[in-house]
Structures are given as structure tokens and as C-alpha cells.
């Protein structure tokens, strides 16, 4: 499937169900909570489960099944993510391709900036626990 912002893809899962995700800017995909029984069983609403940046090879596993427009231009961008510098013990926000210095408080509750491979995304959707979400829940500089 081509990485065209707004496209919705169906991702076959090992249990025979399908996950659905809408392409966002910068190779991000927002995955919906709804898991379908077929590739045409798209969710009626946009209940977003999680958003991750996907490796370019991931998109060949998805089949184009629809397109959903955005209410406004801002909606096509993924939520901000955090970056932690283990050497400098500092935080930054990654938003719209920009890295901005930030505090722990600004990053708390955000997902870590990372690029996910196909296997990681399948694991996260299937909730097997090998590759869970990377939400910041404690101050890493205290470790």
C-alpha cells in the first residue's frame, strides 16, 4: 500500500482478524481499536488505539481499503512523542519533524519516538507483551 496521508489500510492478523489504520504524515499510522472479521469490516468511528511511526517495509503488509479525510490540517500529524537523551539526561519533544527541548512534565504520558517494524506492530495489536507501548510513566533521569 502506498503511504498516502488519509489512506486506510487493513492489516491481516495471525488470528484471522484485521486491524485498520489511517496513514498520517511522516510515515505514522493511527490504529483503530476495532478489529474486523474481514478486510471490509472497517470501523464506523475513529476510536484511535495508538499511533506509531512505521518502517517503510511495514506498508507492504497493509491493503488499501478506504480513505478518510481530516477535519483540519493539524489532524494529519501524529501526536508529539518524547525523546530521552541518556547521556545528557534530558528530554525533548518530537513534533512535526522538529525536536524541541522539554521537561519531564511536558513528556510524561507521551509515547517514545521510535520507528516500529511489522513484527512489533503485530505483537502490540495482539497484546502478547513482547513489544508493549512505550509511554513515559516515570522520570528516567532518576535512574
Sheet containing strand 81-85, edge to edge, reads: 81-85, 90-95, 98-102
Farthest CA pair distance, the chain = 48
Rg (CA), the chain: 16
The model's pLDDT over 43-63, given as tens digits with 9 standing for 90+, comes to 888 899 999 999 999 999 999
Answer yes or no: pTM beyond 0.95.
no
User: Is the confidence at residue 132, as pLDDT, over 80?
Assistant: no
Task: Map out the domains of the chain as residue ranges.
Answer: 7-76+114-133
DSSP line for 59-119: GGG-EEEEE---SSGGGGSPPPEEEEETTTTEEEEEETTEEEEE-HHHHTTPBBP-EE-HH
| The pLDDT of residue 55 | 96
Q: What is the rounded distance in angstroms from the CA atom of residue 63 to the CA atom of residue 34?
A: 16
Amino acid at each position: 500500500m502506498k503511504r498516502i496521508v488519509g489512506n486506510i489500510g487493513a492489516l491481516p492478523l495471525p488470528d484471522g482478524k484485521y486491524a485498520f489504520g489511517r496513514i498520517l504524515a511522516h510515515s505514522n499510522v493511527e490504529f483503530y481499536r476495532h478489529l474486523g472479521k474481514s478486510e471490509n469490516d472497517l470501523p464506523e468511528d475513529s476510536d484511535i488505539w495508538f499511533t506509531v511511526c512505521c518502517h517503510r517495509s511495514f506498508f507492504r503488509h497493509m491493503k488499501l481499503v478506504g480513505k478518510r479525510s481530516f477535519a483540519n490540517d493539524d489532524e494529519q500529524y501524529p501526536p508529539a512523542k518524547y525523546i530521552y537523551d541518556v547521556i545528557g539526561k534530558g528530554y525533548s519533544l518530537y513534533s512535526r519533524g522538529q525536536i524541541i527541548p522539554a521537561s519531564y512534565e511536558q513528556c510524561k504520558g507521551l509515547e517514545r519516538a521510535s520507528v516500529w517494524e511489522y513484527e512489533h506492530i503485530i505483537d502490540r495489536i495482539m497484546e502478547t507483551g513482547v513489544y508493549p507501548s512505550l509511554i513515559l510513566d516515570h522520570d528516567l533521569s532518576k535512574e
